[in-house]
Each structure stands twice: as structure tokens, then as C-alpha cells.
Copies of this chain bind each other. A is one copy, B any other.
Amino acid sequence: MRRSKAVTIHDVARLAGVSHTTVSWAIHGHPGITEATKARVFKAIEELDYHPNYLARSLVRGRTNAIAVVASFFSSPFEMEVLKGIEQRIHEEEIRYGINLFSTMNDPEKVLREIVNGKRADAAILLSVSPSPETVALFRDNSMPLIVIDEDAPSARTIQLNNYRGASLATECLLRRGRERIALVLGSTAGDPGLSQTERRRGFESALAARGMKADPRLTFYIEDYYFEEGQTLLARILETTAPDVPDGIFCAAGDMIAMGIMLEAKNRGMRVPEDLSIVGYDDIPSAALVSPPLTTIRQPLMRIGRRAWDETIKALETPDGDECAIIYEPQLVERGSV
């Protein structure tokens, strides 16, 4: 097995009969290198199949040409969609940045500090990860752009979803159909509830309040996981704990997957949706339209958010002293048959 030693700029210089400085300049289109010399250099590069070592280049330039994308876990529908938007942008624009994934199961702050201090990327995009003020300051001190999606972070660039409004829309839809005992299902309570869940609760409560109704704490439920089986067991729990005053509507702020689990279980128990029980989900995942009845839900422009996050990152990288931004995207009610 031939274990070839990597070819360096010096090999190219030797073959072309110039100094390695000249090679570097030829590569970078530095003005004032003869066409003839340039040609010799490129011929040598071709011949040796030379590729600049990206690490060395990054070290001396102080730029990695990589963007960190940080999330607590990838591969949830939310992260997937946003990632898709980012990807689209990369391809459309031919921008020469790589993307490095960091997931933060344990200690988000530690990961973020390591990105900055270890110079592991030129900028970071955070998906539903909330940085401490100290960390935001750390990024700023190192002039490293930080884009925060779906969380709040004072004096950072944020791209948010109006979760408050999404929840209001969902709840109002239920109220319009005359639902009077509406249960609220929220996402995981593990540790910090997260801004989005908090906001959805607020939106739910305010929509009720607008009708002079009050949220009944016994009608608020939490889930642990996002598998639809969780939705099935949850409905059992809801019916049990609330009997005989079972709810006639459910706003499942924890997302469509859970909502679909609830719906399936309702059907298994002979309940009619929406006649006996109306359900509204959140996210509008692709299969929401395919279940029966099709699920009424809230759609968020996740791909657009991904694209925008990328654009903001690039902008921040190119104009380092630009203002921080606070962009908010509006959700949309998608009315189908489950209400």
C-alpha cells in the first residue's frame, strides 16, 4: 500500500522553478505575477494534484471557513427543516463555507465556549439553544457572529417564531367551533421549558381570556418524548384524570406527532374527531394532511428561517460591525378537518 506523503506548496514551487511565495500568490491572483510564471505554477499544481492544506491556511488567516450549527439534538422535524433551508442557501450561493454540527446534550455553554475559544468556526447558528449573557459577550469579544434561532438572547442576532401568536390562532380556531373545555398539551418539561413552550402557553391563555375564559390548570398536560405513542398514552391519562368532565378540544402545542397519536387513540376508543373531540397540532409536518381526518395545525416557515439564518450569518461575517437584528416570523393557521 503506497502511503503517499501529501504534496505541499514547496513541491509545487520546486517543480515550477519558483519560490513558494510565488506559488501562493499565483493561487490568490496577486497582481504582478507574469502570465508565463502563473502558467508554469498552475501546470505544476495540475501535475502534482496539489491542494492547499486547509488547516494551515486557516491557522495563518485566522479564519476557519466553517460555520457551527448548534442544537441540542438534530434530526427532529424542526431542526431538519431549518437545516434544509441552510443547505439550500449554501448551494444557491456557492459560498465557500463548511458546516460543522455540534450537539449539546449535556452542557450547551461548554460547547459554545469551546467553539469560540478553540476557534472551531467563524460563526455559530443556534437552533433552540439559549446562550447565557456571558456567552453572548464572549462571542462579541471575539467578534464572532452569533445567530440565535427560536430563543431569546439580549444583544445577539435573533430569528424568532411568533409562538404566542401561533398558539392564539390555534386556540381561537377551537373556540370558534364552540369548544368549551380545551386541554393544553405542552412539550417536555425536562429542565428549562424553553421559550417556545412558554410563549405558546401565554398565547393559549390570552385567547381564552379574550373570551372571558380562564385556563384550567387541571387541563394542562406535559409530555416527555415526541414519539406518537406518547400521544396515545397521553390521551388515556387525559380522559382518566379529567373524567367525567373530559375536554372537548385539545390544543397540542407539543406538535403534530403527538397530536396524531392522540387522534389515533381517540379513534381507537370510538370517539369521533372532530365531533366529540377537536384537535389542533403544531408544525404542519408533511403527514399532517394525510391522516384522517386531516389535522388542523400551525405552520411555521422553517425553511425560510434556515435560509435567513444563513444570510444573516454571512452578512455578519462580511460587515462585522453591523447591527444585531431581531427578526420575527409569523405562523399561519392551516385549517383541515380535525376541528
8 A Cβ contacts from A76-98 to B:
80-81, 83-84, 87, 90-91, 98
B286 touches A257 (CB 8 A): yes
Q: Is A327 an interface residue (CB 8 A)?
A: no
10 of the cross-chain contacts (CB-CB < 8 Å) are: A1-B143, A56-B59, A59-B59, A75-B81, A75-B84, A87-B103, A91-B105, A98-B102, A99-B101, A261-B290
Q: Is A49 an interface residue (CB 8 A)?
A: yes
Smallest beta-carbon distance A115→chain B, Å: 10
Q: Tell me the complex Cα distance, A120–B260, Å.
A: 42
Smallest beta-carbon distance A140→chain B, Å: 7
8 A Cβ contacts from A44-80 to B:
49, 51-56, 58-59, 64, 66, 73-75, 80
A54 touches B98 (CB 8 A): no
Smallest beta-carbon distance A156→chain B, Å: 14
Selecting from A2-10, A11-19, A175-183, A238-246, the interface stretch reads A2-10
Task: Please judge, given known A-B contacts A53-B118, A55-B55, A119-B54, whether A103 and B91 are in contact too, CB under 8 Å.
Answer: yes
Q: Is A224 an interface residue (CB 8 A)?
A: no
A206-230: CB near B (< 8 Å → 1, else 0) gives 0000000000000000000001100
Q: Is A233 an interface residue (CB 8 A)?
A: no
Q: Is A112 an interface residue (CB 8 A)?
A: no
Smallest beta-carbon distance A273→chain B, Å: 11
A100 touches B103 (CB 8 A): no
A4 touches B83 (CB 8 A): no
Q: Is A291 an interface residue (CB 8 A)?
A: yes
8 A Cβ contacts from A315-332 to B:
none
Identical chains bound together, number: 2
Q: Tell me the complex Cα distance, A90–B87, Å.
A: 23
Q: How would you classify the secondary structure of chain A's contact residues: helix, strand, loop or mixed?
A: mixed
Q: Is A117 an interface residue (CB 8 A)?
A: yes
Task: Please judge, given known A-B contacts A4-B142, A119-B53, whether A99 and B100 are in contact too, CB under 8 Å.
Answer: yes
Which partner residue on chain B sits nearest A100 by CB separation?
B100
Q: Is A287 an interface residue (CB 8 A)?
A: yes
Q: Is A275 an interface residue (CB 8 A)?
A: no
Q: Is A114 an interface residue (CB 8 A)?
A: yes
Residues of B within 8 A of A291 (CB): 287, 290-292
Which partner residue on chain B sits nearest A92 by CB separation?
B105
